[in-house]
Every structure is written in C-alpha cells, then in structure tokens.
Amino acid sequence: MPSYLCLELKPFIRTLFMKIKNHIPNFITLMNLFSGCLSILFFSQGNLKMAGTMIFIAAVFDFFDGFAARLLKAYSKIGAELDSLADVVSFGVAPGFIVYQLIIESHGRQNYILFNVDIIPFLAFIIPLFAALRLAKFNVDERQTTSFIGLPSPAAGLFFAALPLIKSQLYEGQSLFYMVVTNTYFYIGTAILLSLLMVAELPLFAMKFKSFKIKGNEIRYLFISITLILILTLQFVAVPFIVLTYLFLSLVVFLTDIQ
C-alpha cells in the first residue's frame, strides 16, 4: 500500500475508532434495556423465573456500561439519560409485573373488588412509579456524583427479581420462611418499603471504584466479600440479605464518615 494512502487512512481509522468507542457504553446500556424487555416478555408467557433471571442479566449490563464509560472515557449526556430510561424498564416496570403476578399467586390475600376488578395486585405498580421518580431525581441531583441518596433502583429491582427464584428454591421444603416470603402482605409491604427507600433522603455508598486499591475502597470490598459468602451459602435467598447488608454498611459509612 502506498505510503501516502496510509497517511490518509490513519485519520479516518482514528476517527472511526473514536466514534465506535464512544458508542460502546450506550450499546451496553441498550442491552440492559433489551434484557428488561425480555423479562416482560417472559412474564407475559407465565415464566416468572426467567423474567427474574433477565433482570439479573440487565443488572450485569447496567454495571458494565458505567465501567466501560469510565474505562474508555466515553461520557455523554445522552448516555446518562439512556441509562435512566433503561433502568426504569429493567428495574421498575419489569419487577412491577413480577410482583403483580406473585401477589395474584400468593396466600393470605383478601380480595378488594372495585368495578369487578381485584385492586390488590395493582399495588405492585408502585415499584415502577417510584423507580421513575427516583431516577428523575438522580438525574438532577448534583449530590449523587460519588454516592447515592436513596436506594438505587437496580438494588430494589434485583430484590424483586429474586422473589420468584427464592420461591422456587424454597418450594419443596415449605418452611416457615417460605410461607413468609410468599405471603400477600410480604409482597405488598416490601413493594411499599423499597419504593419509599428509593426516594428517601438516605445516604448510601456507591460501587464506583476510582481505583482497585484496598485503601479508599474498604467498605466496597467488605460488601463484596459478604455478598459472595451469602450467595455461596444461601443462593437466591441471599439477595434480600444482601440488600439489608448494603443498607447497614451505608449507615456505618454515614455514621463513621468512611469513604
């Protein structure tokens, strides 16, 4: 290839690479959204386990889009807005549908009929409403650059995504814990509680690593260690305890001013 042609191609290749690089985080975000859409699709087919699983997959994409943006230095206002739109679907709308169906299948439920419709299962849709409100607040709140104010919607979404998987895991034993976590009022109570936590003025640490050194990331590594232990010992049952651990450690950070 003539040298002059190589010289002309280099700027073109560099520009093309930069354009592709800048769109990688957005592509990952779209995979988050796609996973949320698949969760809703599986819900419509009556497969709550796969619906929950797709939310976990969405959470993986949600983690890596931010990681990719920091790694590639490919930040954009569109990316930030796109991330919130994807999160509303994957960690708000999709979990809302799952909890809606779980309430219908739950035990201990009394029917409250309005216009010939039982309105109790519709309480599940408090989840997408508050997830949307939480994400809108996040987008305009300049305090949440290195930490969170209120429970992040992915944490709430994963809690609800785990419920059908927990139900399946505990089904054969029919233990007291199984009876508690499949009760109508457990679903309603957790939906209301976590929805309120999403918009609460509650300081929580973020899983954003400026570096992978232990110093400065002590609380994050502690949380990861506890999370791995809980998953290895409790499997899907670990998820509610992981969320509780996150809230507890965040309280420790707030009270002791650990960064």
How far is it, in rounded angstroms, from Cα 49 to Cα 105?
14
- 83-110 pLDDT, tens digit per residue, is 889 999 999 999 999 999 999 999 877 7
What is this structure's pTM?
A: 0.86
- The answer to whether the CB of 243 falls within 8 A of the CB of 155 is yes
- 184-201 pLDDT, tens digit per residue, is 999 999 999 999 999 998
- Return the closest-CA partner of residue 164 out of 187, 130, 136: 187
Range of the domain at 217: 3-256
Number of domains in the chain: 1
pLDDT, average across residues 233-259 = 86
Q: Which two tokens stand for residue 150?
A: 């209120």
CATH of residue 111's domain is 1.20.120
- Return the closest-CA partner of residue 36 out of 153, 120, 144: 153
How far is it, in rounded angstroms, from Cα 46 to Cα 2?
62
Whether 5 has a pLDDT exceeding 50, the answer reads: no
**Measured between alpha carbons, how far is residue 236 from residues 12, 13, 60, 211 in Å?**
49, 46, 16, 30
